[in-house]
Amino acid sequence: MNAAALPDTWFALRDGKRFADGVGLADIAARYGTPTFVYSRAALVAAFQAYDQALAGHPHQVCYAVKANSNLAVLGVFAKLGAGFDIVSGGEL
């Protein structure tokens, strides 16, 4: 998926202000401080569903590499979608 194909609801620029899933990034920074990481739940779901749908009709399980990002909120999104998890070490468990 290229940047031009990203829905503007995930990470949008409106009136000179940035938003993630409709929430102002300035508001997030004011509440949680900086630096901070911001993820789009909608983007995570869409990416998972794109993989899952591309493999429809074939036995499969979409697995997320925990080494890529072990953020519990991100892992929770994928778990609720039925993802498996690729782990390399006990520390990733």
46 and 78 together in one domain: yes
Per residue in 19-47, pLDDT (tens digit) is 999 999 999 999 999 999 999 999 999 99
Domain that holds residue 66: 40-93
26 and 47 together in one domain: no
CA distance linking residue 3 with residue 18, whole number of Å:
15
32 and 56 together in one domain: no
Task: Output the pTM of the full model.
Answer: 0.82
Per residue in 51-93, pLDDT (tens digit) is 999 999 999 999 999 999 999 999 999 999 999 999 988 877 7
52 and 89 together in one domain: yes
Q: Which token pair is 10?
A: 């995930």
Q: What's the total number of domains in the chain? A: 2
Residue closest to 61 by CA, chosen among 84, 34, 79, 43: 84
